[in-house]
Amino acid sequence: MNFPEKIKIKRCLLIIDMQYDFISGSLKVSGGEELVMKIAEYLKENSDNFDLIVFTKDDHPREHVSFASNHKSKVPFDEYTYVSKNDSSHVFKSCLWPDHCVVGTPGNEIHNDLTSLILNEHIGKTKTIVVGKGKNLNREYYSCFNDVLEEDFTELQEILETELISEVFICGLAYDYCVINSAKSSVQLGFTTFVAENLTRKIDSSWECNEPGVKVVTQF
Ligand SMILES: [Zn+2]
């Protein structure tokens, strides 16, 4: 009789939006430079603990809906409500941003201290991939799985399922926007989800994580 092999838990590390515009550019998050160093150190020691490492990036066209500059009489950080085209009662309230992470600009690039660790699409023994989001003019993305209205999706879910990933660990920028929303989606999709709090930084220093289902690890 053949017994099934004991199933090994497969882990993915998601490194969210470590791009120059969020670190030192137009939408700089406080502590971003220090965070690059910490994530790089972490990867050098721990990359082999993961079965897949995914770098995500904001990949916006210049006319992107989330830029205040693309709206008459709006300035960065003004409130803005995204409304579903299919159902006008389905909305997401957020704010507009300075132009950031425009494809083809230096601010769109992931920090070199992290990409320089990648050799032949691997860090150590672990395969790395890059997933872009926010490519569509009229959709805002915080989560790296789906847009804010949860109507448009990246290829990430399929990638994680193909790789048989069951645990997702998340770090990067910014904790209160793209990190937490990626974590929320990951929980909804059924992955056991951890946020590495010491490997994230917030835009709003008063914000606190209060998301059922997300396991917050303070020292990763
Ligand atoms: Zn963006």
SS3 202: coil
Q: Identify which of 123, 168, 155 has the alpha carbon closest to the alpha carbon of residue 9.
A: 168
Residue 36 within a domain: yes
Q: Within a domain: residue 89?
A: no
Residue 156 lies in a domain: yes
Domain count of the fold of the chain: 1
What percentage of the chain has pLDDT greater than the value 70? 97
Would the pLDDT of 165 be above 90? Answer: yes
Distance of CA 34 to the CA centre of its chain: 18
In a domain, 47, yes or no: yes
pLDDT in tens, 85-118: 999 999 999 999 999 999 999 999 999 999 999 9
Residue 219 in tokens: 């020292």
Q: Domain range for residue 172? A: 11-62+104-217
Query: Is position 12 annotated as part of the catalytic site?
Result: no
- Residues forming a β-bridge with 12: 52, 168
Give yes or no: 133 in active site: yes
Bridge partners, residue 80, by sequence: 94
HSE-up (13 A, CA, CB side) for residue 168: 31
Indicate whether 68 belongs to any domain: no
Would residue 40 count as lying in a domain?
yes
98 found inside a domain? no
Give the CATH number for residue 20: 3.40.50.850
- Tokens (6 digits) for 14: 């998601």
91 assigned to some structural domain: no
Separation of CA 68 and ligand 1 centre (Å):
11
Q: Given the residues 28, 57, 133, 184, select the one marked as catalytic.
A: 133
